Amino acid sequence: TNSKLFVFGQDGQILDERRTQPNWTRKGGFSVLDEAALHDWAARAVGEAVDINGIEGLMVSGHGCTFALIDDAALTHPILDYEQEPPAEIAAQIDRRIPDFAETFSPHLPLGFNYGRHMLWLKAVQPSVFATAKSILGYPQYWSWRFGGRAVSEVSYLGCHSHLWAPRKRDFSSLVDAEGWRGHMPAFERAGAVIGEQRFGGATRPIAIHNGVHDSNAALHAYRRQELGPVTVVSTGTWVVVLNPDCPLDALDRDRDMLVNVDVDGGPVPTIRFMGGREFAVISNGWQGAIAPSAVQQVIGAGIMALPSFAPGGPMPGHPGDLVGRAPTAEERAAVALLYVALMVDLCLDLIHS
């Protein structure tokens, strides 16, 4: 997953853009984030943006799969890579403690797609890092704290398939209380609230640091503010996330990566998702260029297609991905990947009642 900086103007246009690939290292049997390197890149990139564009505030959004444990000054354990599976014997122990779908509307997913599962894994093998932690933060809230100096919670991130939130109750799930984590959850602030300030680059004045947000819920909120009426949002990136607030909760199928996200005001948002960006990269062998319409027509005419799935989770779990038909050229393979993602989105729209 890329880490990206976007500078937006008052009209919503992107004025500047930078990106990097986070570094991952091994520590204590885990794949963990090189947080210092990412912090240095972010501070430098924001500083340059301040100097060039005179920005007034910083807000972080992110995928909903990562947590951080901090004391008053630092992490008590490095941030885990969510794309790692606990050992089978540990997974068998911790998965028995996960609340039912009827409570959290979070399906039981592999790896760290439910970050409460990774919290249980870390606690099972290194309980001391929880004992010394003052606060449990979502990933955007970690960076808000890192730059703004104040630890807070935020409902859209806690509520996104974490196993930590009960959407109907609008409160923490039974897992949080069973593990004694409620006291480590900081007070809530709304996404976007100013929680601190920081000086970057050569600026003579600090900029505001805003509380972060779950990325797909940020996209949903942006469209809701336009008062367009009933709307389904398709949020794209490493994950393709399809959100339809009007889908009945009882229509959600836990076995097809359907779940409830929580909007920035705490309301339930029925959701379905798959790793569309990741699957496109796998199917296309990392294609980066444009794809000619003629290449799309060629693969349709030749009957070349990709069958799901090429990444964990999604609405077609348990089916290993496969290419059908003659061997495609490099651009044809990219066209196959494009059609695959489009058809998966179409399936998701049907399943989420859009």
190 with 153: CB under 8 angstroms? no
CA atoms within 13 A on the CB side of 130: 19
Mean pLDDT of 126-131: 96
Strand partners of residue 307? 322
Residues 267-303 have pLDDT tens digits of: 999 999 999 999 999 999 999 999 999 999 999 999 9
> What is the pTM for the complete model shown?
0.88
Angstrom distance (rounded) from CA 175 to CA 142: 21
Angstrom distance (rounded) from CA 216 to CA 112: 18
Angstrom distance (rounded) from CA 90 to CA 223: 42
Tell me what pLDDT residue 54 has: 87
Ranges of each domain in the chain: 3-213, 216-274, 276-351
Tell me what pLDDT residue 133 has: 98
CATH class in words for 3-213:
alpha beta
Residues 300-352 have pLDDT tens digits of: 999 999 999 999 989 998 889 999 999 999 999 999 999 999 999 999 999 99
237 class by beta-carbon count within 10 Å (0-12 exposed, 13-18 middle, 19+ buried): middle
Residues 82-97 have pLDDT tens digits of: 999 999 999 999 999 9
Angstrom distance (rounded) from CA 297 to CA 309: 23
Mean pLDDT of 252-280: 96
Angstrom distance (rounded) from CA 173 to CA 19: 35
Tell me what pLDDT residue 302 has: 98
Residue showing tokens 């509520």? 159
Angstrom distance (rounded) from CA 325 to CA 328: 8
**pLDDT above 70 covers what percent of the chain?**
100
Q: Is the pLDDT of residue 180 over 90?
A: yes
Tell me what pLDDT residue 318 has: 87
Closest Cα to residue 126, out of 185, 81, 76?
A: 76
319 with 308: CB under 8 angstroms? yes
Angstrom distance (rounded) from CA 151 to CA 137: 7
Crossing angle of helices 88-95 and 115-125, rounded to 10°: 110
Tell me what pLDDT residue 207 has: 97
Closest Cα to residue 27, out of 70, 84, 67?
A: 84
Tell me what pLDDT residue 55 has: 92
Torsion sign (Cα): 288, 289, 294, 295: negative
Q: Which two tokens mark 207?
A: 């900029």
